[in-house]
Homo-oligomer: A and B are copies of this chain.
């Protein structure tokens, strides 16, 4: 591994006049894997969750480093509701009593795992404390479709404790839906089917989740709003107006605990009732029953519900030409325990970029626009640090921020990018220029290979085959994903309507197995996730290019054809969804009126017919179709004009164009917000109300149809069409500018 001194010597070759390619080459040489490894070891040495001493120490270390590297850095603090666990217990009270261990003992060969005493116990943030005793009902993944199945089995969770396995949708929905269906408590466990021995050898032999491994996490109802539950829409500054805890809609009302499969198997073995449907069986060596009438289980959780401090580190490097145009780049710093992979693998890439940029500045380069590097606290319990900062600075960000780039955990493998589709081309340009260390081709080319090989598999689905077709066509950009929830982009993309990119590498290691457990340690990371910080280096080079290019670009980095294509696909999907839901409702109505569910059921098993679906009226998609036509035309005109004439534009026009891109994207996030959750203003991208992590595009319309809210469907068809039309107006304005209007 190259020494730090050698790197400085090599970088010295760069001079400010050498141009962007030379700049990036110099930048690359300043990314030093051994330094990232050193930082990772220190940051991940002790539990570093919100409120822990090491969380604060890490903030101070990051602050000091950034300042040393020449950044104008400070710690910005917030006071947030953060329930600190006081006691938790879970036990079988029946004839064969069993008390859940709720602990993750140290693992041979992992010295870090011996230091977990100061870490959080088995715990999920923003559950509702309680002490309940009731029989268990197994609800599979605990998603909406599972409750449909439970209904068909004639089984209710009312007055029971739901036990759900991790997977399929966001953790927080499991207790939320259990609560909505009348459960008095909820247990979430890690089945080996999802991330244990079925996936890979269990830690320490392999990377997968061991018997005692448990997954902490947030169960705040973040699809309503993320951030501090007490201060929706405003920063949780010391003197902010706060809700009472009982009024905070994102805090659950029932007690919830996460457990390992080592504990869970004892509880699952006690369940009675029907054998579960085939798809509900996990990989434990037992027969899964749905339960409902068996041995009662006692669940008790108690927390300290006081406010706790957050420490966001904010580092600025003022732009030489456009100091009031900001490029934001963030990664959180808090983990659930040691957090070596999640989030520190991304955090050390951020640090490496910041250091390299600092050196480049010392060598005479300076970004034209201002860079803001952000080391977030409190992402894990609910995107706290980013949300409170974004809400606090909303007005200034509305004027200055051009772009937010997010990373989080990172691993060996392939590029995954998500974000605003107007940035799809930009991401592709960068991916074409970053070399994959395992194959010595570009990360874009490697991803194209992977998509083509996956799409050629005999078991490939329609989506994989479609992606393969795009990947095989070098003239087309690789698709980026729409962003739902799961990391710190939410406030920027979904609340403020800021152009956003999320980047990660992965797919070749199995780091899920230690996700949010005591075992996400430096030892695990360096053996299984990214030995030698090879893909952390690639991440820093990728994000570094996004930052350097967007900071110095003379012209907007956006292209709008990709965005129009995305909206076209979304609308086609939604129209097809409407047709299929209408058909479903008709078919189900006939099955119900003919009594066919009863005839099809096994009379020896409990069962019940499903709740009737509402008839699906015809939705007026015309405004959206018109808006899409308009958007397509405007986007095409813009892209053509910029490619044709961009180079010849005057500096003043170019500056105006860049400013326009900011306000163009903002049109997608009008004040009105989404139905029932107005914090989410972006009418194009949102986390699904009932998927959580998963994105829903055109969510106002799509979810209204999914959830049989026909009035909302009509209303949001019009609102979304208006937003897209305003977007097209902005593009036309830009074309007018380019054409010298």
**A206 lies within 8 A of B287 (CB):** yes
Q: Does A453 contact B (CB under 8 A)?
A: yes
**A201 lies within 8 A of B287 (CB):** yes
Interface locus among A21-29, A328-336, A363-371, A592-600: A592-600
A598 to B208, CA, bound (A): 26
Interface locus among A444-452, A615-623, A687-695: A444-452
Known A508-B604, A599-B439; contact A456-B584, beta-carbon cutoff 8 A: yes
**B287 lies within 8 A of A452 (CB):** no
Task: Render A420-453 as a binary contact track against B, CB cut-off 8 A, 1 for contact.
Answer: 0000000000000000001101000110111011
Q: A607: shortest Cβ distance to chain B, in Å?
A: 11
**A454 lies within 8 A of B600 (CB):** yes
**B283 lies within 8 A of A450 (CB):** no
Q: A190: shortest Cβ distance to chain B, in Å?
A: 14
**B275 lies within 8 A of A596 (CB):** no
CB neighbours (8 Å) of A198 from chain B are: 278, 281, 287
Q: Which of A273-304 contact B (CB under 8 A)?
A: 275, 278-279, 281, 283-287
CB neighbours (8 Å) of A201 from chain B are: 275, 287
**B599 lies within 8 A of A508 (CB):** no
Q: Does A118 contact B (CB under 8 A)?
A: no
A597 to B604, CA, bound (A): 51
Closest to A450 in B: B600
A236 to B110, CA, bound (A): 68
Q: Interface size on A (CB < 8 Å)?
A: 51
Q: Which of A568-591 contact B (CB under 8 A)?
A: 584, 587-588, 590-591
**B287 lies within 8 A of A202 (CB):** yes
CB neighbours (8 Å) of A208 from chain B are: 287
Q: Does A458 contact B (CB under 8 A)?
A: yes
CB neighbours (8 Å) of A508 from chain B are: 602, 604
**A453 lies within 8 A of B192 (CB):** no
Closest to A453 in B: B600
Closest to A587 in B: B456
**A449 lies within 8 A of B596 (CB):** yes
Of the candidates A453, A459, A584, the one having the most CB atoms from chain B within 10 angstroms of its own CB is A453
**B600 lies within 8 A of A192 (CB):** no
A456 to B148, CA, bound (A): 13
Q: Does A612 contact B (CB under 8 A)?
A: no
Contact of A197 among B286, B472, B594, B603 (CB under 8 A): B286
Contact of A590 among B145, B472, B588, B603 (CB under 8 A): B472
Closest to A208 in B: B287
Known A200-B275, A201-B275; contact A449-B599, beta-carbon cutoff 8 A: yes
A287 to B450, CA, bound (A): 25
Closest to A445 in B: B599
A413 to B600, CA, bound (A): 10
Q: A160: shortest Cβ distance to chain B, in Å?
A: 21
Known A145-B458, A445-B599, A454-B600; contact A285-B284, beta-carbon cutoff 8 A: yes
CB neighbours (8 Å) of A660 from chain B are: none
Known A508-B602, A599-B439; contact A287-B454, beta-carbon cutoff 8 A: no
Q: Does A199 contact B (CB under 8 A)?
A: yes
CB neighbours (8 Å) of A453 from chain B are: 591, 596-597, 600
A494 to B571, CA, bound (A): 51
**B588 lies within 8 A of A456 (CB):** yes
Closest to A207 in B: B275
Contact of A591 among B199, B452, B584, B598 (CB under 8 A): B452
CB neighbours (8 Å) of A452 from chain B are: 587, 591, 596, 600
**B283 lies within 8 A of A438 (CB):** no
**A197 lies within 8 A of B285 (CB):** yes
CB neighbours (8 Å) of A596 from chain B are: 448-449, 452-453
Q: A277: shortest Cβ distance to chain B, in Å?
A: 10
A584 to B458, CA, bound (A): 9
Known A285-B192, A287-B208; contact A438-B200, beta-carbon cutoff 8 A: no
Q: Which of A309-353 contact B (CB under 8 A)?
A: none
Closest to A192 in B: B285
CB neighbours (8 Å) of A590 from chain B are: 472
CB neighbours (8 Å) of A287 from chain B are: 197-202, 206, 208
CB neighbours (8 Å) of A449 from chain B are: 591, 594, 596-597, 599-600
Known A275-B206, A286-B197; contact A603-B456, beta-carbon cutoff 8 A: no
Q: A414: shortest Cβ distance to chain B, in Å?
A: 9
CB neighbours (8 Å) of A145 from chain B are: 458
Q: A210: shortest Cβ distance to chain B, in Å?
A: 12
Q: A173: shortest Cβ distance to chain B, in Å?
A: 18
Q: A150: shortest Cβ distance to chain B, in Å?
A: 14
Q: A312: shortest Cβ distance to chain B, in Å?
A: 37
Q: A415: shortest Cβ distance to chain B, in Å?
A: 13
Closest to A439 in B: B599
A412 to B621, CA, bound (A): 49
Q: A34: shortest Cβ distance to chain B, in Å?
A: 21
Q: Which of A191-214 contact B (CB under 8 A)?
A: 192, 197-202, 206, 208
A285 to B282, CA, bound (A): 11
**B283 lies within 8 A of A281 (CB):** yes
A591 to B471, CA, bound (A): 12
A-B contact pairs, 6 of them (CB 8 A): A192-B285, A201-B275, A201-B287, A449-B599, A452-B600, A453-B591
Known: A199-B281, A449-B599; 5 extra A-B contacts, CB below 8 A, are A198-B287, A206-B287, A439-B598, A446-B599, A454-B600
Sort A-B residue pairs by CB-CB distance and give the 7 closest, nearest first. Answer: A449-B599, A449-B596, A453-B600, A450-B600, A201-B287, A285-B285, A449-B600
